[in-house]
Amino acid sequence: MRIERAQMNPLISPLHVTPSSEEMQVVSAFNAAAVTWGDETILMLRVAEMAKPTSEEEVAVPILVHENSRPHVAVRRFQKGTPGLDLSDPRAVIVNGEVLLSTLSHLRLARGKDGYHFDIEKRPAIFPTEPYEEYGIEDPRMTVIEGTAYINYTAVSRYGVCVALASTDDFVTYHKHGVILPPENKNVVIFPERVGEHYVMIHRPATSGLGNQQMWLAYSHDMENWGHHVPLMSKRPGMWDSIRIGAGAVPIKTEHGWLEIYHGVNEQQGYCLGAVLLDLHDPATILARSSIPFLIPETEYERTGFYGNVVFTCGAVVTTRESDPVVHIYYGAADQYTCRADIDLEDILDSLHAPALPVPEVVNLEEVPMQSGIACPLEQ
Ligand code: MAN
Coil vs helix vs strand at 41: strand
Question: What residues contact 131, with CB distance under 8 A and at least 6 apart?
Answer: 66, 157, 159
- Asked if 94 and 37 touch (Cβ cutoff 8 Å), the reply is no
Establish if 29 belongs to a structural domain. yes
Establish if 251 belongs to a structural domain. yes
> For each of the chain's 380 residues, which pLDDT tens digit applies?
999 999 999 999 999 999 999 999 999 999 999 999 999 999 999 999 999 999 999 999 999 999 988 999 999 999 999 999 999 999 999 999 999 999 999 999 999 999 999 999 999 999 999 999 999 999 999 999 999 999 999 999 999 999 999 999 999 999 999 999 999 999 999 999 999 999 999 999 999 889 999 999 999 999 999 999 999 999 999 999 999 999 999 999 999 999 999 999 999 999 999 999 999 999 999 999 999 999 999 999 999 999 999 999 999 999 999 989 999 999 999 999 999 999 999 999 999 998 866 555 565 666 555 555 544 344 33
Establish if 313 belongs to a structural domain. yes
CATH number of the structural domain spanning residue 147? 2.115.10.20
Tally of structural domains, the chain: 1
If one residue of 138, 335, 336, 338 were mutated to test the ligand 1 pocket, choosing by the most ligand atoms within 8 A of its CB, it would be 335
What does the pLDDT read at residue 255?
Answer: 96
Judge if the beta carbon of residue 138 lies within 6 A of ligand 1. Answer: yes
Is residue 237 reached through a cis peptide bond, with omega within 30 degrees of 0 on the bond before it? no
* Of 339, 350, 254, 251, nearest in space to 294 by CA: 350
What does the pLDDT read at residue 369?
Answer: 56
Q: Enter the pTM of the model.
A: 0.93
Judge if the beta carbon of residue 41 lies within 6 A of ligand 1. Answer: no
How many angstroms separate the CA atoms of 360 and 219, rounded? Answer: 29
What does the pLDDT read at residue 377?
Answer: 42
- Asked if 144 and 165 touch (Cβ cutoff 8 Å), the reply is no
Question: What residues contact 70, with CB distance under 8 A and at least 6 apart?
Answer: none
Establish if 369 belongs to a structural domain. no
Question: Sign of torsion, CA 257 260 266 272?
Answer: positive
Establish if 91 belongs to a structural domain. yes
* Of 245, 234, 272, nearest in space to 358 by CA: 234
If one residue of 135, 245, 271 were mutated to test the ligand 1 pocket, choosing by the most ligand atoms within 8 A of its CB, it would be 271
Establish if 26 belongs to a structural domain. yes
Spacing, Cα 90 to ligand 1 middle (Å): 12
Judge if the beta carbon of residue 139 lies within 6 A of ligand 1. Answer: yes
Looking from the CA of residue 335, the nearest atom of ligand 1 is 10
Note down the domain range covering 39: 3-361
- Asked if 192 and 201 touch (Cβ cutoff 8 Å), the reply is no
Establish if 332 belongs to a structural domain. yes
How many angstroms separate the CA atoms of 261 and 252, rounded? Answer: 9
Establish if 368 belongs to a structural domain. no
Question: What residues contact 66, with CB distance under 8 A and at least 6 apart?
Answer: 131
Question: What residues contact 90, with CB distance under 8 A and at least 6 apart?
Answer: 102, 306, 307
- Asked if 27 and 47 touch (Cβ cutoff 8 Å), the reply is no
Q: Which residues of 29-38 are buried (b: 16+ CB within 10 A; e: fewer)?
A: bbbbbbbeee
What does the pLDDT read at residue 5?
Answer: 98
Write down the H helix ranges in the chain. 300-303, 345-351
Q: Rounded to 5 degrees, what angle do the CA atoms 175, 17, 79 make?
A: 95
Q: Rounded to 5 degrees, what angle do the CA atoms 121, 63, 22 make?
A: 45
Judge if the beta carbon of residue 310 lies within 6 A of ligand 1. Answer: yes
- Asked if 315 and 34 touch (Cβ cutoff 8 Å), the reply is yes
DSSP output for 320-334: EETTEEEEEEEEEET
* Of 48, 16, 20, nearest in space to 116 by CA: 16
Spacing, Cα 346 to ligand 1 middle (Å): 28
Is residue 184 reached through a cis peptide bond, with omega within 30 degrees of 0 on the bond before it? yes
How many angstroms separate the CA atoms of 71 and 131, rounded? Answer: 9
Count H helices and E strands in the chain, helices first: 2, 27
Q: For residue 198, give the DSSP letter.
A: B
